[in-house]
Chains A and B, each alone.
Chain A
Amino acid sequence: MNPRHSQKIAFSVLTICGIIVVAPIFAILLLLLIKGLPAISLGFLFGTGGAAESIFPAIIGTICLVLVSILTAIPLGIAGAIYLNEFASDNKFTRIIRLSIVNLAGVPSVVYGLFGMGLFVIFLRFGTSILSGGLTLAFLILPVVITASEEALRTVPVSFREAAFALGATKIQTIRRIVLPNALPGILTGSILGISRAAGETAPILFTVAAFFLPRLPHSIFDQVMALPYHLYIISTQVPNTPEKYKYGTALVLVVLVFSLNIAAIIIRMQFRKTKKW
């Protein structure tokens, strides 16, 4: 067969595959928009009245959880990445650490929930609270943050570090002044991806924080709280006769939240690539 023909056929097949891959996203969005848009109103978004009709507490709850998780995961993750990339030598211990991170990423999220319940809720006596939920989510997103941060650190060329050492800089000075600032965009991207994951997880927060109906907003991190994913699960399965538009409306809000975070991460990455200085 003539190469030009086979190229045309290959292109067509690949294009079709591309469409198939992308189609579900659009289908989901379309479905949510059609069925959920009717529910979107100021009362829905910002009211604190009825259980299914207003999701403001759930939105606040999700934000609180995300905040706790990123305040924990990001510093830990960056520090871990710096240790692994800048200090650790290639020995058994380091290899065990790396293996653990990979495995951590593969742990099913419901297992995280159980772990969080066991450690934070029961053992440390935090109870079902924002703190427990946030910390559990932190461990969930830790692998993402560490991996992204390590990759960002690795993209900083060794020659910069060498130049700094040759000028008499210590390792810490080099990391602080040269490596970290230039790795920041990559670290940021990884962190945002972590956040979007934390926002969307249901299982970990099942046992550690979530409440279905709390009329008032949380006062402290030891409070229970509503969360969007859990809220959606409950009104879809446990509460009878919930109007369909509320279910889809909640889903729409959640999806928009997660998508916006992901798109923000992509834009930052693209900006970084454009202004990449080396």
Chain B
Amino acid sequence: MVSDSLKNINPEQNISEITINQLDFYYGDCHALKNISIDIYKNKITALIGPSGCGKSTLLRTINRMNDLIPNVKISGDVLFKGRSIFDPDIDVVELRKKIGMVFQKPNPFPTTVYNNIAFGPRIHNMFSSKSEIDDTVEQCLKAAGLWLEVKDKLKKSALELSGGQQQRICIARLLAVKPEVLLMDEPCSSLDPIASLKIEELMMNLKKDYTIIIVTHNMQQAARVSDNTGFFLSGELIEYDITEHLFTTPSKKETQDYITGRFG
């Protein structure tokens, strides 16, 4: 399932940030993820593609333990973050979610000012003691999200008055404020227009040097444009995982080829 080309990659260039070992996931009786093993490499963008309902979002939500909030869930296998299991009883879920942040499909900024949105994270974690430190963080995060110039005069305006693309970038900036190391993006562009989408893609390419990014997307061209490595999922299984360029020019599995050429359903 993991291609030879990925296995033969120079280990210094590719440090595994998140390792998933034989993960099985059940929603009640539904076997949503089947024996998934995959390495997510540091400072790379990994795309997870596949048809609807094949388990990609479930996998993403398992990594930051958002699935804890759903009842009737059974997990076996392991997910290691920086070598430590995220299911370890010693692990503080709050700390884990600070380090592994998530951006959702539909932008969901809080119904408050732009400033308060970005400041939310630092405030609840008591990260700063003075207002000026929070001000600096807000500015830095908005700059990192490519939004500063557009909203610097609108910090006191409600975040909900911004356009969809801007709202999504607010969500990203909000996430950056808690200083994560991994960004999980669950179809971040599906509710955005093409230009807004491209801006988010540019943003991801810029963020890659400081963060590890995993993106779930339905848009194959986006996965091809943006990611370094791509994993193809089908019915809860990882069919193929390879360097993006290889997967899209010379996939090794027929199912992968059928899906990405869009010829067969």
Contact = CB atoms under 8 A, between A and B. Distances in A.
A and B touch in the complex (CB under 8 A): yes
Interface of A: 89-90, 157, 159-160, 162-170, 173, 177-178, 182, 277-278
Nearest to A166: B102
Interface string B91-117: 000111110011010101111000000
**What 4 pairs between A and B have smallest CB-CB spacing?**
A159-B108, A277-B111, A168-B97, A166-B102
Query: Chain B contact residues (Cβ within 8 angstroms of A): what range?
Result: 20 to 34
Given A165-B97, A167-B98, A277-B111, A159 B106 contact: yes
A5 B126 CA distance: 68
A164 B96 CA distance: 14
Given A164-B120, A166-B104, 5 more contacts: A159-B104, A168-B124, A168-B178, A170-B94, A182-B111
Contact of B108 (A160, A169, A177, A182): A160
Nearest to B94: A168
Nearest to A276: B111
B101 A167 contact: yes
B175 interface: yes
Interface in B187-229: none
Contact of A278 (B69, B160, B171, B174): B160
A165 B106 contact: no
A167 B160 contact: no
B124 A173 contact: yes
A20 to B, nearest CB: 41
Interface of B: 64, 66, 69, 71, 94-98, 101-102, 104, 106, 108-111, 120-121, 124-125, 158, 160, 171, 174-175, 178
Contacts of B102: 166
Given A89-B71, A277-B111, A168 B174 contact: no
A166 B124 contact: no
B111 A168 contact: no
B108 A165 contact: no
A137 to B, nearest CB: 35
Contacts of B171: 163
Contacts of A89: 71
Nearest to B159: A277
23 contacts: A159-B104, A159-B106, A160-B108, A160-B110, A160-B111, A162-B104, A164-B120, A166-B97, A166-B102, A167-B98, A167-B101, A167-B120, A167-B121, A167-B174, A167-B175, A168-B94, A168-B95, A168-B96, A168-B178, A169-B94, A169-B120, A177-B120, A277-B160
Contacts of A90: 71
B104 A168 contact: no
Nearest to A167: B121
Contacts of B104: 159, 162-163, 166
A165 B124 contact: no
Contacts of B158: 277
